[in-house]
């Protein structure tokens, strides 16, 4: 692969005259701009790829839209309802559902606080009961023993009341939880009546963008021009796409975007999905594909591969020693040295 890269670059006449993979010669310091030009000619160096399959649905888009553009929808609802016909009903149902969801979340939080307090009380009562039992055994006077026994009984009565309250509180919370679960299921069923689901199969490419490399970010040793030191950007996602056909051969045809579910809940043409709705679902597929690639470590792989690729590339051009540094977001230098063995 590197030989091919070299041949292509040589054909573009961007190799300096002093560089030769078959005969090493000293590189003049004033040729640094030429080397910079060569590297910038590489452009976006792809060093890692990810292929995957994802899915997204229209209701997911509506949910995100309400969160991110709530105020805009309120100020100009007609604009949004025209582009996204199912949004009006979704907003109406989602508002009721969200109100109940917030109520349940608060109830759940209060119940968890109550449980923590309840078990702390039981533990303190248990410790106190143990102490009172010991004190009763050790009591010398009958009157003192009776007082301690009365205190012990009071503690036991408190435990009984706490357990009764706990039982009632638990039953109330369980009923609230069940009501919310039923409401959630009902909301989901309603949303399934009009929904659009796409499966997306595509790829994500990550690598190094060398287009903006400057002379300040490349150093050739005055004493040894066969030593090169580069400061390059951190790897990033360079491209992500889902083509109409993921695989297209005589033997096998797999679509990039495949329609999985399309329900409008109506026979009327006016209720069909708009181009904006379709585009929105496909956009989510692409974003999810990139997220999956990041989760699988595409940036880490791109970084490792970039080091190896660039090291081999510059050895191929005639450099004995290659040192590569990555620029972090805060412009600190993270050094990773690659020397020829």
Distance of CA 42 to the CA centre of its chain: 30
pLDDT digits (tens, 9 = 90+) for 217-242: 888 775 666 788 888 899 999 999 99
User: What's the confidence (pLDDT) of residue 290?
Assistant: 96
Element (H, E) at 57: strand 44-57
**pLDDT for position 121:** 94
CA distance 302 to 284: 24
Residue 264's pLDDT is 81
CA within 13 Å, CB half, 294: 12
Q: What local confidence, expressed as pLDDT, does residue 174 receive?
A: 96
- Average pLDDT score over residue span 154-163: 94
- Domain residue limits, the chain: 2-58+195-339, 87-192
25 or 244, which is more confident: 244
Per-residue pLDDT tens for 263-320?
887 655 456 899 999 999 999 999 999 999 999 999 999 999 999 998 988 888 778 8
Percent of the chain at pLDDT > 70 equals 83
CA dist., res. 89 & res. 80, Å (int): 12
Q: pLDDT for 183-203, tens place per residue?
A: 988 888 888 888 899 999 999
Point out the least confidently predicted range of 18-27, 29-38, 72-81, 173-182.
18-27
Task: Locate 114 and state its tokens.
Answer: 């109550």
Burial class of residue 106 (count of CB atoms within 10 Å of its CB; 0-12, 13-18, 19+): exposed
What one-character-per-residue DSSP string does 241-284 give?
E--SEEEE-SS-EEESEEEEEEE-S-S-GGGSPPHHHHHHHHHH
Using CA atoms of 27, 30, 33, 36 in order, give the dihedral in degrees to the nearest 10.
30
Find all residues with CB under 8 Å of 52, minimum gap 6, and list them: 201, 202, 203, 204, 289, 292, 293, 296
User: Average model confidence (pLDDT) for the chain?
Assistant: 82
């Amino acid at each position: 692969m590197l030989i091919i890269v070299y041949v292509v670059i040589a054909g573009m006449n961007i190799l300096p005259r002093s560089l030769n993979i078959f005969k090493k010669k000293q590189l003049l310091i004033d040729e640094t701009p030429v080397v910079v030009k060569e590297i910038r000619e590489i452009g976006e160096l792809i060093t890692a790829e990810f292929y995957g399959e994802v899915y997204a649905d229209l209701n997911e888009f509506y949910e995100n839209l309400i969160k991110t553009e709530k105020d805009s929808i309120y100020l100009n609802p007609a604009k949004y309802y025209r582009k996204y016909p199912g949004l009006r009903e979704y907003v109406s149902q989602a508002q009721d559902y969200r109100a109940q969801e917030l109520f349940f979340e608060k109830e759940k939080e209060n119940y968890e606080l109550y449980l923590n307090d309840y078990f702390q009380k039981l533990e303190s009562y248990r410790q106190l009961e143990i102490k009172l039992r010991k004190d009763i055994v050790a009591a010398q006077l009958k009157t003192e023993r009776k007082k301690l026994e009365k205190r012990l009984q009071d503690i036991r009565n408190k435990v009984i009341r706490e357990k009764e309250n706990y039982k009632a509180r638990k039953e109330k919370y369980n009923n609230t939880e069940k009501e919310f679960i039923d409401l959630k299921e009902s909301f989901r069923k309603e949303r399934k009546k009009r929904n659009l689901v796409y499966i997306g199969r595509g790829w994500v490419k990550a690598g190094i963008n060398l287009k903006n490399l400057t002379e300040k970010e490349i150093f050739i040793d005055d004493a040894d021009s066969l030593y090169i030191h580069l400061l390059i950007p951190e790897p990033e996602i360079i491209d992500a796409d889902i083509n109409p056909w993921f695989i297209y051969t005589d033997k096998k045809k797999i679509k990039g975007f495949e329609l999985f579910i399309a329900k409008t809940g109506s026979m009327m043409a006016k209720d069909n999905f708009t181009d904006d709705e379709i585009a929105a679902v496909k956009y989510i597929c692409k974003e999810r594909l990139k997220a999956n690639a990041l989760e699988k470590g595409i940036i880490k792989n791109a970084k490792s591969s970039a080091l190896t690729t660039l090291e081999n590339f510059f050895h191929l051009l005639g450099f004995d020693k290659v040192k590569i540094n990555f620029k972090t977001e805060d412009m600190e230098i993270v050094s990773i040295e690659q020397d020829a063995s």
